[in-house]
Amino acid sequence: MSTEPTPFDLDHPWQVDPRVSMRPEPFGALLYHFGTRRLSFLKNQRVLAVVRSLVDHPTARAACAAAGVTEAELPAYTRALAALADSHMISERTPA
């Protein structure tokens, strides 16, 4: 069994997992997954904006662009979203 994180596809549609509660905080947000009982921290307001808007955009890349994430910042946001996907805080959604 591999411990490598699953590659995150920015060009797929994503959403906050329905079992996750999100509490905004001055630093970003706390996310709690009621299924896994895990807690995650979003470390700034822009990553919170990206995560909140995932459901409103056709892809994670579009959500990042809408939040003002630059091409230079995109690798860091991709890693953050991959970590959230690996911890089941966000999940792929089927396109409408």
Number of domains comprising the chain: 1
Instruction: Give which of 40, 77, 44, 36 is closest to 60, Cα–Cα.
Output: 77
Asked if the structure places residue 77 within a domain, the reply is yes
Mean predicted lDDT score pLDDT of the chain: 92
Is residue 70 exposed (0-12), middle (13-18) or buried (19+ Cβ within 10 Å)? exposed
Long-range contacts, stretch 66-69, CB < 8 angstroms, 24+ apart: none
Asked if the structure places residue 96 within a domain, the reply is no
Asked if the structure places residue 46 within a domain, the reply is yes
The CATH code of the domain that includes 26 is 3.90.930
What SS3 state is found at 25?
strand
Over residues 15-52, the pLDDT tens digits come to 999 999 999 999 999 999 999 999 999 999 999 999 99
Asked if the structure places residue 29 within a domain, the reply is yes
**Residue 50: which domain range?**
14-91
- The model's pTM is 0.89
